[in-house]
C-alpha cells in the first residue's frame, strides 16, 4: 500500500493496453475509456509507456512502480540435450565417458583474451618444454590437478560463431574476459549472446585486477545486469579475478572451468565413430596440407582415412599441440595432421571412413553438390521458410537477432516481440543491441537459423556479403508496428510476400463535385503518367498521405474509362473516401508482390 492507500503495482517501461488491464484486473474497455479521458487514443494491442500507464491506473486505485526492464538477451533454449550431443553422432549413453572440456575465450577487444591465452599456456607447460614448442597450432591443452583442458587459440566470438555456422560446435565452455577497469562493453554482451545461442556455459575471467583503477564490484554489478549473477551473490556464474599480465589467478580460473565442466558432464565415446571439427588448416610448401583437427568422438589414428568437407586423405603423420609426433588422438585432443588432399575449411566436420576410395567418393559427391549450390543462389532462411519449418514441427521457436538505432526503441520492440507467440511457438531474441547490423550479427543468425531484424539501422557491406553467402534473411523496418506485425504474421504463417509499389501516374484535384447518393467525386487533371480504374490510389495532401484505397470510378466527360492519360481531365471516385480538397494529389499505383 502506498501513502494514499493505493495498491502498489510494478509496471514495465512499456506494455500493451491488454497487459495493463490484466495486471490491474480491469476490463480492457475500461482502460481504453480511461486512456481516452486522458486524451490518449489507443487500441487493445497498443503499447503505452510507463507514465501514461501510471496516470491511468491511479483512477483504478493503483500506484505504479517501475519494473526493472526484462533482460533483452537470450532466453535459455528449451532443448534438453547437452550442447555437445550432436557432435558425437548417435552413441549409446552407456558408451560415453568423460572427456576434457574444450574452452573458447570470448570478450571485448583489448580486455586481454590473447594475453590470457598466453598466460594459461605458459603457466601449465612444464618449464623444459616451453622452449621446445616450435610450432603454434590453433589449440592447446593444459593440465590442472592432473586433468587436461583444451583451449581453442582463436579468441573472439566471430571465429566461434563462424565455426557454428558451418555446423560445428567446437567449444564446450566459454571464458568471458571482462577487464575490471573497463567493465561490460558492447562486445561483452555480444559475446555472451553468442555463447548463449550455442548453449555453452560461461565462466567470467575478471581480468586486469592489477590495474589501480580496477573496480571488481562495479563490474560484478554490471554482470548481474546482463544475467550473469555472481555465485558469491547466490547466482550461478563463477567470476574469477585474474591478471593475465601478472599471471595471477590462472589456477583459480582453471579450477572454475573444471567445476563448470563437471556440472554439464562433457562426454564422448573414445571407442566410437571418429568425428570432429577442423580448427584450422594451411598449405605448407614442404609438408603439403597441414590441418589442425579437434577430435570430438572416437580415437583418430595415424593411417586413418579422413574426409573433411571436400578434402580427404590418409593421415601420414600426426602431431600433438607441442609438435611432438603422436600415434593417436582421443576425444578433445587437438592434433595437426598431414596427408589431406585439399585444405579443408575451418569449422568443417570430419569423419573417418574405411577406404581411400570411399573417402574420395564422398568428397567428390560433396564437391559436385558444392558446385551446384554455387550455380544457384543460396537458400535464404526467410521468415516464410522458418514458418514452414515451424509447421513441420522441426522448429519450436522463431529466433531473432535484433538491432536498433537507440536503446529507447529497443525496449518497446523487445517487449512487444516477447508478447507474440502462437501456440507452442515462441519468439527467442538471441541478441539485441544498438548500432548497425554487422557481420557478427549475421553470423550469429546463420549459426542459429535466426533472422536479423533491424529497426532504423542498415546492414553494413560485410554483413550484406555474409548474409548473401550464408543465406540469412535481413529485414529492416522503420515503424515498430510493421515489425511486430510481420513477426506475428510469420508466427501464424500469414506473412505475405513483400509488395513493391509501382507508381502509374498522378492527377491533381481541381474541383470537388457532390453527386447525390454517390458522394463526392474529384474533378482532376492527370499531370503525369495515367490513372487506371481498379488500381490503388493514395490521396496526398501536402507531405502527407491522407488515404490509401482503390479507385471506384473513373470518368471522362460522363463516360466510364479504363484509363486516363496525362493532360486529360477526369472525374475520380474512391472507395471509402470522399473528403477531397482542391489541390490534393491522387497518386495511382499498383502493388507487385516480390518473393522475399
CB 529 within 8 Å of CB 588: yes
Integer-rounded Cα Rg, in Å, for the chain is 31
CB 19 within 8 Å of CB 416: no
Contacts of 588 (CB under 8 A, 6+ apart): 503, 504, 505, 506, 507, 529, 530, 531, 532, 535, 536, 537, 551
**Could you give the 3-state DSSP secondary structure of residue 388?**
helix
CB 104 within 8 Å of CB 171: yes
Residue 58 as a binder of ligand GDP (CB under 6 A): the answer is: no
Residue 112 as a binder of ligand GDP (CB under 6 A): the answer is: yes
Tell me how many degrees the CA angle 547-549-551 measures, rounded to the nearest 5. Answer: 120
CA 520 vs CA 510, 571, 574, 583: distances in Å:
13, 10, 9, 15
**How many C-beta atoms lie closer than 10 Å to residue 231's C-beta?**
13
Residue 109 as a binder of ligand GDP (CB under 6 A): the answer is: yes
Residue 403 as a binder of ligand GDP (CB under 6 A): the answer is: no
CB of 230 to ligand GDP, least distance (A): 19
CB of 474 to ligand GDP, least distance (A): 28
Residue 188 as a binder of ligand GDP (CB under 6 A): the answer is: no
124 DSSP assignment: H
Which segments of 328-485 are extended strands (E)?
A: 328-329, 334-340, 349-353, 397-404, 421-422, 425-434, 451-455, 474-477
Residue 85 or 211: the one with the smaller Cβ distance to ligand GDP is: 211
> What is the DSSP secondary-structure string of 469-510?
HHTB-EEEESSHHHHHHHHHHHHHT-PPPEEEEEEEEEEEEE
CB 319 within 8 Å of CB 336: yes
Residue 245 as a binder of ligand GDP (CB under 6 A): the answer is: yes
The residues pairing with 289 across neighbouring beta strands, listed in sequence order, are: 283, 340
Site string for ligand GDP, 527-546 (x = CB under 6 A): --------------------
CB of 270 to ligand GDP, least distance (A): 33
**132-140, 237-245, 295-303, 359-367 -> range binding ligand GDP (CB under 6 A):** 237-245
**38-46, 206-214, 567-575, 576-584 -> range binding ligand GDP (CB under 6 A):** 206-214
Residue 276 as a binder of ligand GDP (CB under 6 A): the answer is: no
Determine the length of the chain: 596
Count, residues near ligand GDP per rule CB under 6 A:
16
> Can you state the angle between helices 439-448 and 461-470, rounded to 10 degrees?
20
The residues pairing with 144 across neighbouring beta strands, listed in sequence order, are: 147
Residue 249 or 313: the one with the smaller Cβ distance to ligand GDP is: 249
The residues pairing with 531 across neighbouring beta strands, listed in sequence order, are: 564
Residue 120 or 445: the one with the smaller Cβ distance to ligand GDP is: 120
CB of 121 to ligand GDP, least distance (A): 13
CB of 280 to ligand GDP, least distance (A): 17
Nearest to 18, CA basis, from 38, 35, 37 = 35
CB of 204 to ligand GDP, least distance (A): 14
**33-41, 139-147, 205-213, 501-509 -> range binding ligand GDP (CB under 6 A):** 205-213
CB of 115 to ligand GDP, least distance (A): 3
CB of 117 to ligand GDP, least distance (A): 8
Binds ligand GDP (CB under 6 A): choice among 244, 420, 430, 437? 244
Residue 113 or 220: the one with the smaller Cβ distance to ligand GDP is: 113
**273: Cα separation from own chain's centroid:** 32
Site string for ligand GDP, 207-226 (x = CB under 6 A): xx-xx---------------
Residue 174 or 570: the one with the smaller Cβ distance to ligand GDP is: 174
What is d(CA 494, CA 497) in angstroms, rounded to the nearest whole number? 10
Residue nearest to ligand GDP (CB): 112
What is d(CA 431, CA 452) in angstroms, rounded to the nearest whole number? 10
CB of 232 to ligand GDP, least distance (A): 21
CB of 346 to ligand GDP, least distance (A): 19
Residue 18 as a binder of ligand GDP (CB under 6 A): the answer is: no
Residue 525 exposed, middle or buried by CB count within 10 Å (0-12, 13-18, 19+): middle
Residue 111 or 431: the one with the smaller Cβ distance to ligand GDP is: 111
Residue 107 or 344: the one with the smaller Cβ distance to ligand GDP is: 107
CB of 177 to ligand GDP, least distance (A): 6
Residue 243 as a binder of ligand GDP (CB under 6 A): the answer is: yes
Nearest to 177, CA basis, from 104, 122, 260, 235 = 104
What is d(CA 446, CA 274) in angstroms, rounded to the nearest whole number? 26
Residue 115 as a binder of ligand GDP (CB under 6 A): the answer is: yes
Site for ligand GDP in 145-184 (CB under 6 A): 155
Beta sheet of 311-314, edge-to-edge order: 311-314, 305-308, 349-353, 275-284, 288-297, 334-340, 317-319
CB of 220 to ligand GDP, least distance (A): 17
**78-86, 111-119, 311-319, 588-596 -> range binding ligand GDP (CB under 6 A):** 111-119
Residue 30 or 252: the one with the smaller Cβ distance to ligand GDP is: 252
Residue 251 as a binder of ligand GDP (CB under 6 A): the answer is: no
Site string for ligand GDP, 69-108 (x = CB under 6 A): --------------------------------------x-
CB of 185 to ligand GDP, least distance (A): 11
CB of 112 to ligand GDP, least distance (A): 3
Residue 110 as a binder of ligand GDP (CB under 6 A): the answer is: yes
Binds ligand GDP (CB under 6 A): choice among 111, 121, 196, 431? 111
Residue 244 or 308: the one with the smaller Cβ distance to ligand GDP is: 244
Helix or strand (DSSP H, E) at 294: strand 288-297
Please report, as ranges, the residues that interact with ligand GDP according to CB under 6 A: 107, 109-115, 155, 207-208, 210-211, 243-245
Amino acid at each position: 500500500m502506498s501513502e494514499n492507500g493505493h495498491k502498489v503495482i510494478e509496471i514495465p517501461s512499456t506494455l500493451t493496453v491488454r497487459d495493463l488491464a490484466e495486471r490491474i484486473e480491469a476490463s480492457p474497455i475500461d482502460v481504453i475509456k480511461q486512456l481516452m479521458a486522458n486524451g490518449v487514443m489507443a487500441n487493445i494491442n497498443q503499447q503505452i509507456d510507463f507514465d501514461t500507464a501510471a496516470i491511468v491506473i491511479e483512477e483504478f486505485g493503483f500506484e505504479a512502480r517501475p519494473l526493472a526492464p526484462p533482460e533483452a538477451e537470450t532466453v535459455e533454449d528449451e532443448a534438453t540435450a547437452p550442447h555437445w550431443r550432436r557432435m558425437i553422432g548417435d552413441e549409446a549413453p552407456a558408451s560415453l565417458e568423460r572427456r576434457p572440456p574444450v574452452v573458447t575465450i570470448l570478450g571485448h577487444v583489448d580486455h586481454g583474451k590473447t594475453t590470457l591465452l598466453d598466460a594459461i599456456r605458459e603457466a601449465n607447460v612444464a618449464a623444459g618444454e616451453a622452449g621446445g614448442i616450435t610450432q603454434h597450432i590453433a589449440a592447446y591443452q593444459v593440465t590442472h590437478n592432473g586433468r587436461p583442458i583444451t583451449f581453442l587459440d582463436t579468441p573472439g566470438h566471430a571465429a566461434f560463431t563462424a565455426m557454428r555456422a558451418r555446423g560445428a560446435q567446437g567449444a564446450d565452455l566459454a571464458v568471458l574476459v571482462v577487464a575490471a577497469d573497463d567493465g561490460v562493453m558492447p562486445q561483452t554482451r555480444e559475446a555472451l549472446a553468442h555463447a548463449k545461442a550455442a548453449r555453452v556455459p560461461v565462466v567470467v575471467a575478471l581480468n586486469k585486477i592489477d590495474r589501480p583503477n580496477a573496480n571488481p564490484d562495479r563490474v560484478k554489478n554490471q554482470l548481474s545486469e546482463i544475467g550473469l549473477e555472481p555465485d558469491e551473490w547466490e547466482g550461478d556464474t563463477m567470476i574469477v579475478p585474474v591478471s593475465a599480465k601478472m599471471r595471477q589467478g590462472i589456477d583459480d580460473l582453471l579450477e572454475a572451468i573444471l567445476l563448470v565442466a563437471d556440472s554439464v558432464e562433457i562426454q564422448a565415446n573414445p571407442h566410437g565413430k571418429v568425428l570432429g571439427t577442423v580448427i584450422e588448416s594451411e598449405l605448407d610448401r614442404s609438408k603439403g596440407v597441414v590441418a589442425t583437427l579437434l577430435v570430438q568422438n572416437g580415437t583418430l589414428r595415424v593411417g586413418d582415412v579422413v574426409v573433411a568437407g571436400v578434402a580427404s586423405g590418409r593421415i601420414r603423420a600426426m602431431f600433438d599441440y607441442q609438435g611432438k609426433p603422436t600415434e593417436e588422438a582421443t576425444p578433445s585432443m587437438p592434433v595437426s595432421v598431414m596427408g589431406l588432399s585439399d585444405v579443408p575449411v575451418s569449422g568443417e566436420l570430419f569423419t573417418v571412413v574405411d577406404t581411400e576410395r570411399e573417402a574420395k567418393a564422398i568428397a567428390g559427391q560433396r564437391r559436385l553438390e558444392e558446385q551446384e549450390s554455387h550455380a544457384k543462389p543460396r537458400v535464404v532462411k526467410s521468415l516464410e521458410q522458418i514458418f514452414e519449418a515451424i509447421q513441420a514441427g522441426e522448429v519450436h521457436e522463431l529466433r531473432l537477432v535484433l538491432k536498433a538505432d537507440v536503446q529507447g526503441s529497443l525496449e518497446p520492440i523487445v517487449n512487444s516481440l516477447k508478447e507474440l507467440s502462437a501456440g507452442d511457438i515462441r519468439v527467442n531474441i538471441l541478441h539485441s543491441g544498438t548500432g548497425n547490423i554487422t557481420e557478427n550479427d549475421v553470423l550469429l543468425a546463420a549459426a542459429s537459423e535466426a533472422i536479423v531484424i533491424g529497426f532504423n539501422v542498415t546492414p553494413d557491406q560485410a554483413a550484406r556479403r555474409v548474409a548473401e553467402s550464408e543465406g540469412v534473411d535481413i529485414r529492416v523496418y522503420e515503424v515498430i508496428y510493421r515489425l511486430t506485425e510481420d513477426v506475428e504474421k510469420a508466427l501464424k504463417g500469414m506473412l505475405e510476400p513483400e509488395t513493391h509499389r509501382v507508381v502509374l501516374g498522378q492527377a491533381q484535384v481541381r474541383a470537388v463535385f457532390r453527386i447525390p447518393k454517390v458522394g463526392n467525386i474529384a474533378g482532376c487533371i492527370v499531370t503525369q503518367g495515367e490513372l487506371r480504374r481498379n488500381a490503388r490510389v493514395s490521396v496526398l495532401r501536402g507531405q502527407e498521405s491522407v488515404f490509401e484505397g482503390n479507385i471506384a470510378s473513373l470518368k471522362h466527360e460522363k463516360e466510364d474509362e479504363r484509363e486516363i492519360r496525362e493532360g486529360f481531365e477526369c472525374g475520380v471516385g474512391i472507395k471509402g473516401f470522399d473528403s477531397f480538397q482542391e489541390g490534393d494529389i491522387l497518386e495511382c499505383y499498383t502493388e507487385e508482390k516480390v518473393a522475399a
